[in-house]
Amino acid sequence: MSRTPFDPVAHNRLAWDRQVEKGNEWSRPVGPEVIATARAGQWSIVLIGYEPVDPSWFPPQIAGLDVLCLASGGGQQGPVLAAAGARVTVLDNSPRQLEQDETVAAREGLDLRTVLGDARDLSAFPDASFDLILHPVSNLFIPELAPVWRECHRVLRPGGTLLSGFLNPDLYLFDAESLETRGELVVRHRLPYSDLTHLEPAERERLWGPDAPVEYSHSLSEQLGGQIAAGFAITGFTEAPHHSEATAGWLPGYFATKAVKAVNAGTGH
């Protein structure tokens, strides 16, 4: 009997629904005080680690812009930008993550739209729909990135900006158990890495449980080169430490890019 092919979208949808139930830190909605401050014109959001995005990466005026928060559910970035005056759409693969955004929007009277979907397929949106796309660290849950960058380029207006955060792929070199429990950097895996090909199911279940999201490493060629191949010009780059103290002082845990669609770029594929 043939085995049913693994569906990473369906698996990670349920996995992130469960992460919300467990109180994952990236699924905890912002409080009323954060929204009040954003309404007053003082706001910041996180793209990688815990450091706010450099304000110079944003357009000079956020109010009135069409913003897509891509794979960015959880009630954090989207509501803040909506409170600052942007017209915000949040697309995420997890219904429960989107519920967090909807909860904040209802509580605060924010005009915010949520869409359930896969970041590789933005066909719900016409060409040139957005001025800004915010894509926090999340593409480690997506098998391939080229479609993400192509779709981002298509739905951005000429001159629009894509802000993306991603995990340093070199972190996947190390044995996860040694890193998390003993703080030791033990090289174990070749890159590119995938939970599905580098770990036996029993070990993966022992380490993270049967319902954990499936992760994939993505090379810098996929991350940076993929954005360039899609038509973007990368105009900003930064890094931040990983939450694991074991890697501090050895290598950055996260990277972020600011990428711009040319003013004279076409709106089609």
Q: Place 267 in a pLDDT band, splitting at 50, 70 and 90.
A: low
Mean pLDDT of the 86-94 span:
98
- The one-character DSSP state at 55 is G
Closest by CA position to 16, among listed 89, 71, 64: 71
Q: What is the pTM for the complete model shown?
A: 0.94
What topology is assigned to 8-168+218-261 in CATH? Answer: Rossmann fold (3.40.50)
Residue 179: pLDDT over 90: no
Of 5-9, 127-131, 135-139, which gets the smallest average pLDDT? 5-9
The pLDDT value given to residue 28: 97
- C-alpha distances (whole Å) from 105 to each of 68, 108, 111, 199 are 15, 5, 7, 40
What is the overall mean pLDDT for the chain? 94
Mean pLDDT of the 197-205 span:
91
Question: Domain boundaries in the chain?
Answer: 8-168+218-261
The pLDDT value given to residue 2: 52
pLDDT digits (tens, 9 = 90+) for 219-253: 999 999 999 999 999 999 999 998 767 787 889 99
Residue 216: pLDDT over 70: yes
The pLDDT value given to residue 212: 92
pLDDT digits (tens, 9 = 90+) for 16-73: 999 999 999 999 999 999 999 999 999 999 999 898 999 999 999 999 999 999 999 9
d(CA 174, CA 156): 37
**172: alpha, beta or left, given left = phi > 0 and alpha = psi -120 to 50?**
alpha
- C-alpha distances (whole Å) from 216 to each of 6, 205, 224, 266 are 14, 16, 16, 31
pLDDT digits (tens, 9 = 90+) for 48-62: 989 899 999 999 999
Six-digit token string for 46: 């996180």
Mean pLDDT of the 163-169 span:
97
